[in-house]
Amino acid sequence: MAGFQEIFEQCLKDITLFCEYTSKITLRAYQVEVARAIVASVFEKKGLTFVVMFPRQSGKNELQAQIEAFLLTVMQQTRAEIVKISPTWKPQSLNAMHRLQRVLDGNALVKTAWSKSAGYIYQIGQARMTFLSGEPTAHIVGATASTLLEVDEAQDVQTAKYDKDIAPMAASTNATRVFWGTAWTKSTLLARELRAARDAQLADGQRRVFVLDAVQVAAELPAYGAFVAAQVASMGRNHPMIKTQFYSEEIDAEGLLFNAARIALMHGGHPPQSSPLNGRVYAFLLDVAGESDLAALDTHDATSLTIVEVDLSDLDVDFACGPVTGWSAARHGRASSTPPFTAR
């Protein structure tokens, strides 16, 4: 039977053993793949950029904390610098710190060895981890991520903020970068990095993309599958929340309700107007804001006033069903939703 010293040395070489023996945590198979890839890139100084897209409540945050604790422990004799960015300071950065602290407190190797300074820096030996906010107004320029740069919930971090203030943190050592998150639209920072990582992965065969869906999680965690099945039954498989939060499917960047084809139908050929024309008939369409079905996704409804021109020219045609809106309706036989002017 292996002695303590041998087990200790093995734990410092393999993150799965580290979690099992020091924290009594068994990583799931899909977590192991991600953990080993990130750790290998850090140790071998590959400078890879990973994108990890997990469904909600599938163990993403626990995995992050275990990787962070492992790196701080193993690299405590070096000046390792890890930086983690969250979209907000409160609650997201605070939650991330609490998760790491819980893991450190429960780790038999380091529960008495770690320290905290300045309220947001965790340290074991010489290795440090700094938690920062990625809010647009956060002053975070100057931090250095010489070992690892993490961006959590990257779909909620502004691309401009990342490019200007966050990306340079990893520049001096070409540190490993990890974008964690959940699917949203194709215009997010997470989506951009996902495309770039896929291209790099195709070019050299080095895996950088880990996209998981509810089916894969359920294969290891049947209770999760039962929960998601109930959500699907309640809201429908094509509900934006189901598609993004549980099946890692991006939705159209143009909006939650209108795809590119629908938007194209809303474009007319008339010039914009700021006032009515003499002799024309107009209709005022008022959509009063109410409770949104997508409230859980932090979407916001608004009262919208749309003003359309009514085309009466086809009323004398036998097959006409009634007046239509917009010139394109008369020409193409369909009702156009293009307003001459709109107020909100």
Name residue, tokens 């023996």: 21
pLDDT tens per residue, range 125-160: 999 999 999 999 999 998 999 999 999 999 999 999
Angle between the N-to-C axes of helices 29-43 and 60-74, in degrees from 0 to 180, rounded to the nearest 10: 30
The pLDDT-based confidence of 329 (bands split at 50, 70, 90) is very low
The mean of the pLDDT values for the chain is 85
The predicted pLDDT at position 287 comes to: 83
Please say whether the beta carbons of 180 and 151 come within 8 A.
Answer: yes
Residues with Cβ within 8 Å of 165's Cβ and at least 6 positions away in sequence, in order, are 138, 140, 141
Residues with Cβ within 8 Å of 151's Cβ and at least 6 positions away in sequence, in order, are 84, 85, 134, 157, 162, 166, 177, 178, 179, 180, 181, 189
Q: Which residue has the higher pLDDT, 336 or 189?
A: 189
* Closest C-alpha to 96, from 117, 125, 67, 75: 67
Name the DSSP letter for residue 89.
I
Q: Which residue has the higher pLDDT, 309 or 48?
A: 48
CB atoms within 10 A of CB 266: 13
Residue-range domain boundaries for the chain = 4-227, 267-343
The structural architecture, per CATH, of the domain 4-227 is 3-Layer(aba) Sandwich (3.40)
* Closest C-alpha to 194, from 321, 327, 53, 78: 53
Please say whether the beta carbons of 247 and 56 come within 8 A.
Answer: no
| Reported pTM | 0.74
User: What's the mean pLDDT in 228-251?
Assistant: 95
Name residue, tokens 């990583």: 27
Q: Which amino acid is at 1?
A: M
User: What's the mean pLDDT in 176-182?
Assistant: 98
The predicted pLDDT at position 221 comes to: 95
pLDDT tens per residue, range 81-120: 999 999 999 999 999 999 999 999 999 889 999 999 999 9
pLDDT tens per residue, range 54-79: 999 999 999 999 999 999 999 999 99
The predicted pLDDT at position 290 comes to: 67
CA 31 – CA 54 distance, rounded (Å): 10
The predicted pLDDT at position 4 comes to: 55
Can you read off the two tokens belonging to residue 179?
């974008």
CB atoms within 10 A of CB 11: 21
Judged against a pLDDT cut of 80, whether residue 259 lies above it is answered with no
The predicted pLDDT at position 267 comes to: 61
Q: Is 293 left (phi over 0), alpha (psi -120 to 50) or beta?
A: alpha
Judged against a pLDDT cut of 50, whether residue 332 lies above it is answered with no
**No. of helices (H) and no. of strands (E), the chain:** 12, 12
